[in-house]
A and B are shown apart, each in its own frame.
Chain A
């Protein structure tokens, strides 16, 4: 118990560290700084002194840059509009207050007419209002690459809300950047000064400054009073779930996209406590550590992309295996990371949390990118977003190949992602497809003693047969219908995912002579695993909004269903011949998952909201074990089983079929709730509780098992701070959490995957800090976790106590003003990403090495061209990305090495990549 107290204290200290760091930045160290914090008035929300609340934008259609105007356009062009918003929230009329020519005026009016608002209100009553809207069109020629604009550092004006006509003016952007800095949106709204409100209409006050994308990503106020960040604001965009508090991260990398990220999975590192390792090679799913969970390749994290699930239920390599390599990083517009199971939308596998990628293409037109670099690496990327279509319409093709560093790390993969997003009346529909192919080799692990004795090199391999062939094909269709007070969403999807994996963690250890086998020596432990998964499913929701207590209240009821048809085998392969000699498993599984949830967002007032609800999950299993009998106590003398793996006899040689079917089902109810409070401007807090479930591996299913899943109970409390210091947006947040899991997963080297273990408890703190200014975007996070087995109090191996991550970028869109005067400003950025991981606990009381990596990227761009040079592992540190401690026998000694020793998978040495990007056509 004292130990627990100590680690709670540590977590508190870690939390305090994060908050103090944030406070130190947010508030000057003057004596009255804290007083000012307390005395800060509650957010004005959107209520003026007369009790009239401004209309709130809930749907926005991006204006389309007039194609006919593009060639002549030089720099940004603004159109000011006066729009009348009805008491029903629709735009009933639009007047041009400041023209920019017919083409631009028409484009702006056409878009704004399709906007929808939560109407202005006087008291409880909705009233008509007039607002002033400024639309800024940035010339395609001056626009920065779409991907840079994607996120965290939003285009200055793009996030500015429409403001009431009588509002005070705000003529500068959120960052004060010049208009040309607005890089990627077809058009952007800004808030220039405007004329007084038209007579006869409510003079709605100005909405408060909206969150920038940077702080929007961390906003935890009960209800955003400003329009959503750019990706959410489009009429076509999906409606995001309201924040669950300080552990809910809506990540929009923004300029941080410049930080070297090897794949889409790496974006996870913007959330605190995330460590990614990979002993499986270029196309193998990243092993994710989140919030004190060794989630391996996704077993404890629910992954999805555009609503389509990524986790593979029943994958023999790991139930919930999630490979995100098929996602083209440049098509990621945002990523929601919910740490902890606090949102009823989170389904199976959301034990540590969930990650949902939102895909789109911000830079319209054609983007071609070619990368060449170390170790024979090349990458060719083509992105196309037709002009006039929304960002949800895109096609991307990504081809990658490398010879890899060291031995046996060659790989090649290709990915195609395409989606069409259209609108018909109140309906928005999306039809998408993906195809992904990967084939690569893997070095696997090395014994530390072999490396120290120079028997192997740091980047060598023991078994060159290790590798993987994986592919993924999916189609999806989605329909969103936006009615006055209701949003209805349905989505269906189908996924095919064949995969073959070959890995050897133990060398020659797991094949001892059994009495019933013919005499043999150790034949080798290479696992040849094949998993063929076909998935169909659907999800949907109905969201109803209304007002009560003078506040908007929301109820969402949703469903999720999927069926997985999985065929999987795992065999051991003889080193000398390459022939399989033993079948470890041969399963054919039909898995069902049906989830229903209800989620409410109840607001008592401007600063207090209760969010949460209940999720019910029904999991069904129908497993045909085609290798049900692998040994017999008393085999037949006349028909001995010999070396066969899947036997057709039982005790004393009695015949039986080698197959056996088992089926079972289990249901779980998972309550989840968050209380979010924000009585002080820029300060909000949250407390939350939630239960998550993880279905079990089909291989563990026994007939009518009572609870075929594991559950996790998580509690947390957090504090979030946001402040604008001059032109710098600063946000910080800190969360204390504790999670108890009744059946945890522990890595088994002999199985090459996580196996079920006992109960566990994790206590810790996650902290983030982000500062965004005109020319920089800095983000850091720090997480401390104390993860122990509940019965023994011993640490859970492999889970790092401390993870620290820093991402930062300096950028300018006007490197050469003279060039800008001629129409094209050069732009550039310098970005860095650094990760520090404290020594990880390993089995048998061992500790791994600390890990520190530093990546760097520099880009310069002009007009349609951009050149980038990135360097990963700048310090060329020879680091151990994955560390283990177990027994293996790679013939390091004359006899089997049977006691646990350190093993590692090598991290990549320094590598340099040069990328040339060309943008053609489209709006910026």
Chain B
């Protein structure tokens, strides 16, 4: 079909299963009732790749555009401009719809809220089998075998298929959500804050489960989270977003040990550590700027302790500063 060219190109060039180039998402809103129209730029010209079998951790505070990016990536919402290539198929632009249809079965999504994302009136087995039922073509026996297999994969006893979601704890419900995401054997899973609603003692269980599944099934993840420590425990590479822009990306160890962007540095410094002897430096002032009709220049300039005149005028372009290390900052 029309997307066949993209497919061949993707296979030749690299093993990136996700390629994002200059992606933009605008939401059109009105300010106040009957107010003037405004543009909310949730995602502002971002580019990144995800290699097969790896995890890109996408971190940022509220309103940074990280969840919007996740939704764009699996085609839940259309991009305003830019390009998304998944498994060699370009799902944006004119031929995007048929291309997305071709790769859709390889994509899945795990949501933050394990309470809100499971239908309370469906038995757990039916929740998990819903993607199978929608895809069609499975016999009743195969379907039920697959549900049992999935439950085992996520560490739940088979018998829970007959019970209802409300009978389970948050951690168990997240296991059910993961089982459902795996039903059609996806290759790429977007996990949007999958452990942030969970207690600490449950978080580690789910993180370890996601790591085990990646090893066993060769999955690739986009792991979206606001918690930098959680991201360190699961990611291969990390990308940091601020007010719609991707300010820094690097292999995990590099990003945490030698962050370059002043925002990444401030963010890492602000995280309270379980170490009473540590003295944190004074908090970064100011708040995240409005992304309604954003000012020119760097989005972080107003809060940046190292801001220069150029930062308020010119938007810094992403620059490679090392192996896999890209920073959008005029300091580099």
A interacts with B: no
